[in-house]
Amino acid sequence: MDTNPNHDTDSQRLTSQTVLEILQKGEVESEHGMMRWSSNYTFLLSINHNDTSVMAVYKPQKGERPLWDFPDGMLCKREVASFVTSEQLGWQIVPPTVLRQGPHGLGSMQFFIDHDPEMNYFEFDDDKIPQMKRMCVFDILVNNADRKGGHCLVDSQGHVWGIDHGITFNSSPKLRTVVWDYAGDSIADNLLEDIERLCVEVDNAKSTYRQALNELVTEREIHAFQNRIQTLLRTRKYPQPGPGGPNYPWPPV
């Protein structure tokens, strides 16, 4: 994957692996303060490694607001679990994300996507439909409880990224999303093939991906994840909103 880091003075294109190395090994160059509208403590940082700087969104574990239906101190780990799942699928939905120590302790650090804040899911043209269908499947798999329209960002290359995956991988059905446009439609064969490969990796206790998941979410949540995978492979369709609700996040943007 190529990505264009907005804070790189040479505007050179960096690979995902290079960005991950900067996020993991780089030093915090400067803090730009807290990000507005976040329900948890979220900071924007500049990180430098080998004379290359990128912007990162830092969510420290100790700044997480306790939730009744998620274990305390686990939201940052779910951000990383969503990233490694996106990478395992080869879908490049979640920006490069790592778990590391930062200025306020352990937390997730995610590559900041330079984007137009006025452009969100509700403003997308039809050319974004293939990417949104893929993101919709991803949200079903990871049981995303917070896919707001503003959590869909478009970079300068027209690629759609998803952010804010702290409340994912719950063992109970929690899917809350604004993207119900495809409910009842068939899932594309190429996406199902990717999911089949994911199934093999998550079922293999010795795979690198499964071992990473073991460090990020609970065993019960992994079993529920496996069940969601099997359900999609069996039905081959986007689900309808569940009767138990709520099925939509609030606010929608």
pTM over 0.75: yes
Q: What is the pLDDT of residue 6?
A: 42
pLDDT at res. 1: 44
Alpha-helix residue ranges (DSSP H) falling in 43-158: 75-89, 129-142
Domains present along the chain, CATH in parentheses: 8-235 (1.10.510)
DSSP single-letter state for residue 127? G
- Contact between residue 169 and residue 74 where contact means Cβ atoms under 8 Å apart: no
pLDDT of residue 36: 67
111 phi/psi in degrees, rounded to 5: -55, 130
Q: What is the mean pLDDT of each run of 10 residues along the chain (253 residues)?
A: 41 80 94 74 95 96 90 94 98 98 96 93 96 98 97 96 98 96 98 98 98 98 98 98 88 93
At 5 the pLDDT is 39
Which uninterrupted H or E stretch holds 141?
A: helix 129-142
109 φ, ψ to 5°? -125, 125
Q: Are 65 and 53 in contact (CB under 8 A)?
A: no
